[in-house]
Structure 1
Amino acid sequence: MAPKKILMLVGDFVEDYEVMVPYQVLLTVGHHVDVVCPDKKAKETVATAIHDFEQEQTYTEKRGHNFTLTATFSSVKAKDYDALVIPGGRAPEYIRLDKRVRDLVREFDNNKKPIASICHGLQVLAAAGVVTGRKITAYKTLGPDLQLAGANYVEVEPTEVVVDGNLVTSPAWPGHPKWLAEFLKLLGTTINP
């Protein structure tokens, strides 16, 4: 298996587990991962948010770690990467407003490159217009928005994954094992037991 070059799109208050775990797993299996944030440069940081379920009607949010970016957003081009990862958290609700982000996502999708998105990361895919007619999942509060964007939204357990062509989606970080396994399959990554 040849190592793949993967781009990860983040912003301040990206969900902590949803950036840290995929980044570390993808590096562990030998892939190269560039993590970028619009209007930030390599070696700058983004703040992460920790989302948890503590018996309220929705998740709680706490300040997480600082995550150091590995590349500069303005210098990345989709043609230089094999795949894209879009974590959730608060970041997707505002990075999706950036035309450069939407254009980048569309370019990955137009070229049928694997795209893994989790939780609120689907807000970026919807804003880029790549969910229409696609079977996807996300954090359940996004269901109505994704349906309005033309997606075939499926509500599944937080530990599950939905794959439609080049799109791999999951509702939240408890889905990491299945979400990452399916993404690795699309990348052609094999792991010997």
Structure 2
Amino acid sequence: MLLADGFESYEASVFTDVLGWNLFEGDKTTELVSVGMHPQLKCTWGYSNIPDCQLSEINLADYDALAIPGGFEEAGFYQDAFSTEFGDVIREFDSQNKPIASICVAALALGNSGILKGRKATTYSYPENPRQDQLAQMGVSVVRDQPLVVDNNIVTSSSPATALDVAFWLLERLTNANNVEKVKGLMGFHKN
């Protein structure tokens, strides 16, 4: 999970929980590693987070997928999310056709990296918010009426409300549909 300074903690937590539940209770094949560009990051709402690793310390080839939570401009999210280093990571995962799961405005980091040019995607869609128009200006074919948009190896989403769906999409890409249903049941998403 690639974290930009100013990331939204809820959006990061869904990846942590879904992949963590799978590690302990599902098929036990997923391990989530949080990666940042700073030794300490601040979340959108001001508290601090220490990522497992620094970007400079890891080998991208060791990882099977990329998860990116969104964040707020007011918290400095786009400084990291639009950086060259952040974009390099995104381009590397896309060049290998590895799954890339982004929530809400994290799609703008994907758009800024250039990997969404000519592809379908969405981002934050609250009325009169400029984010979907901003994504379109990056050469993206913006789908404005769907909460989740999948284009080959990439999922983008329209709000924090979609976060769990994005995390389960990623889990399915890393495992299989039957395992996702098992994990959902164990997490209480299916009524008995």
Under a length normalisation based on structure 1, what TM-score does the superposition of the two structures give?
0.79
Deviation by residue 1:6-42 (Cα, 9 ceiling, x = unmatched): xx1112221120112222221221121111111x23x
* Structure 2 match to 1:14: 7
Q: Pick from 106, 123, 140: which aligns with 1:138? A: 123
* Structure 2 match to 1:129: 114
Q: SS where residue 32 of structure 1 aligns?
A: coil
Distance 1:181 1:37 in 2: 23
The reply on whether 1:80 has 2:62 as its aligned counterpart is yes
Distance 2:103 2:82 in 1: 18
Distance 1:186 1:113 in 2: 9
Distance 1:185 1:92 in 2: 28
* Structure 2 match to 1:114: 99
* Structure 2 match to 1:36: 35
Q: Are the equivalent residues in 1 in contact too, given 2:116–2:139 (CA < 8 A)? A: yes
Deviation by residue 1:105-156 (Cα, 9 ceiling, x = unmatched): 1010011000001111112111110011111111023211211111111123
Q: SS where residue 70 of structure 2 aligns?
A: coil
* Structure 2 match to 1:23: 16
Q: Are the equivalent residues in 2 in contact too, given 1:163–1:182 (CA < 8 A)? A: no
In structure 1, stretches of 5+ residues that fail to align are 1-7, 50-62
Aligned length: 167
Q: Pick from 152, 162, 183: which aligns with 1:175? A: 162
Distance 1:174 1:168 in 2: 14
Under a length normalisation based on structure 2, what TM-score does the superposition of the two structures give?
0.79
Q: Identity rate of aligned residues, in percent? A: 31
The amino acid across from 1:184 in the alignment is L
Distance 2:51 2:81 in 1: 18
Distance 1:69 1:188 in 2: 25
4+ residue runs over 3 A deviation: none
Structure with greater helix percent: 2
Q: SS where residue 144 of structure 2 aligns?
A: coil
Q: Are the equivalent residues in 2 in contact too, given 1:96–1:128 (CA < 8 A)? A: no
Distance 1:21 1:64 in 2: 19
Deviation at 1:98, TM superposition (A): 2.3
Distance 2:82 2:101 in 1: 19
Mark the CA change 1:46 to 1:37 in structure 2 (over 3 Å): closer, same or farther.
same
Q: Are the equivalent residues in 2 in contact too, given 1:16–1:64 (CA < 8 A)? A: no
Q: Pick from 133, 146, 150: which aligns with 1:163? A: 150
Structure with greater strand percent: 1
In structure 2, stretches of 5+ residues that fail to align are 24-29, 186-192
Distance 1:133 1:19 in 2: 27
Which structure has more relative contact order (CA 8 Å, sep 6+)? It is 2
